Amino acid sequence: MNYLIAVLRFLLLFAGWAAIILLVLLILVLFVPVRYRLRAGVKDEGSREEPDFSRLKDAASCRAEMSWLFGIVRCRLDVPSDEEGPVIYILFIPVRLGKILERKRARQEKKPDNEAQRELDRDRQEKESTAESKKAASGSNKAGFESNEAAAGSNEAAAVNSEAAEHAGNTARPKRTSKKSESVFRILELIRDPELERARSIVLKQVLKVLKMLLPKKWSADADLGLGNPYDTAKILEAAGMMYPVLQGHVRITPEFEIYRFNAALKASGRLYLFMAVIAALTVLFDRDTAKLRKELKKFRG
């Protein structure tokens, strides 16, 4: 009896600690933000009289990084990608996804000799069986050729009559709309339905909340810009001046009016709280009007 009580105590203690650990992990996942950083730039340092936009693709580079829980889990992606490809750091240990994918491809390319021999044997057997079936079918076709010629005349007459009937039926039937046009009409009806107006507003509001949370909290851009002539460069500066309330304190442009030059650097950083995305999803899922909208969408898919 004492042994059974000790086992039960151990199981209860283990279940309690497991529940506490899962609760702590859930709190960390929901309330510890996922931070991201973006670094992008273009370095076209050659001074020319005319712009050469084809060089911008080769001169551009970008690095995106994401981290969670003080950098215990990190992810890095470079464009253009290097030989290592995306890298994930778990407990500060790098996991290079590019090398893992290369190993899988190498394993798939290197097939064992036994499997190759089996495939050759299967191909031979299939060829032999198809040759035998063709020989058997040729004999039966010769025997049935004469009967087919006799039935050909009657079939031609029946085909003429059926074509005439189909032509008459097609002229009487209304033209059917294509599936794409029908789907467009159904989407427009779903958008204009007044009963689903509140559901559409709820979904749009929650989506905008999530998108607003994804926007970077800090960002800056620095550029040395020249398009080869004063007119085009002045047009860019005029457009930037119209957006001065938004760009103030974030963007700095150094103009070049006589030559082409495009050196730019962009930095952005932000964070994402998962609990806000979960709240938005639950708001959409448990609302009655959005449930009606989901039913209509299921009918549309069906």
Give a yes or no: residue 40 inside a domain: yes
Residues 39 and 54 in one domain: yes
Give the residue among 56, 61, 48, 59 at the shortest CA–CA distance from 226: 48
Q: Provide the residue range defining the domain that includes 245.
A: 31-109+186-301
Residue that is last in its domain, among 149, 175, 201: 175
Q: 8 is written with which tokens? A: 């039960």
Give a yes or no: residue 19 inside a domain: no
pLDDT at 67: 93
Residues 261 and 120 in one domain: no
Residues 193 and 136 in one domain: no
Per-residue model confidence as pLDDT tens for the chain (302 residues): 688 888 899 999 999 999 999 999 999 999 999 999 999 999 886 656 666 667 777 888 899 999 998 888 999 888 887 656 778 888 778 888 777 777 777 777 765 555 556 666 677 777 777 766 666 656 555 545 555 554 555 555 555 555 555 554 544 444 445 566 666 777 777 777 787 888 889 999 999 999 999 999 999 999 998 887 888 889 999 999 999 998 989 999 999 888 888 889 999 999 999 999 999 999 999 998 888 888 877 776 65
Give a yes or no: residue 156 inside a domain: yes
Give a yes or no: residue 23 inside a domain: no
Residues 96 and 198 in one domain: yes
Give a yes or no: residue 57 inside a domain: yes
CA distance 299 to 30: 34
Residue that is last in its domain, among 131, 148, 175: 175
pLDDT at 252: 93
pLDDT at 175: 45
CA distance 204 to 197: 11
Residues 233 and 193 in one domain: yes
Give a yes or no: residue 267 inside a domain: yes
**Would strands 251-255 and 218-227 be described as parallel, antiparallel, or unpaired?**
parallel
Residues 283 and 152 in one domain: no
Residues 251 and 159 in one domain: no
Residue that is last in its domain, among 122, 150, 175: 175
CB atoms within 10 A of CB 259: 15
Residues 45 and 124 in one domain: no
CA distance 76 to 254: 31
Residues 195 and 96 in one domain: yes
Residues 168 and 287 in one domain: no
Residues 118 and 266 in one domain: no
pLDDT at 138: 60
The pTM of this model reads 0.64
Give a yes or no: residue 16 inside a domain: no
Number of domains into which the chain is organized: 2
Give a yes or no: residue 292 inside a domain: yes
Residues 268 and 239 in one domain: yes
